[in-house]
Amino acid sequence: MKLHLFLYGLGIWIAATLVLRVRGLRLLYPGHPVTIILLFAVSFVLMALLARRLCRASGLTPAEWPAGAISLALPTLLLDPFSSAFFAVVFPNMPPEASGVFGGWMLICCGGAVVGAIIPPNVRA
């Protein structure tokens, strides 16, 4: 595990959870499939770019990037199952129906980070 990337991931998780707790109602729309697809697509690409940049900036070799991406995504993978299970408590400003969109969104973000790390560094993402 790359501790510094895990800590980045934890910081991102804390900040994102706080933002969603305050403003989440403006972001997750469970009854709007086009909005959900757009949110997932944009998030996937942004997380791929973020993972690549953080791995590169951390001085990791390209062979270490997958481990770096896993370290970055680990806080989300460990903590957001609880956010999903206790969705109404963690995010009281959002309708309970948004929990499925939230869970999918977290998975697509983690998937984007991993894909961004396994694309060879000479390929621009």
Domain assignments of the chain as residue spans, ordered by start: 38-125
For the segment 44-69, what is each residue's pLDDT rounded down to a tens digit? 999 999 999 999 999 999 999 999 99
Inter-CA distances, 101 with 21, 62, 64, Å: 15, 32, 31
* Residues 71-111 pLDDT 10s: 999 999 999 999 999 999 999 989 988 999 999 999 999 99
- CB within 8 A of 37, min separation 6: which ones? none
Predicted structure pTM score: 0.89
Q: Largest alpha-carbon pair distance within the chain?
A: 44
* Confidence band, pLDDT 50/70/90 cuts, at residue 125: low
Q: CA 56 to CA 71: how far, in whole Å?
A: 14
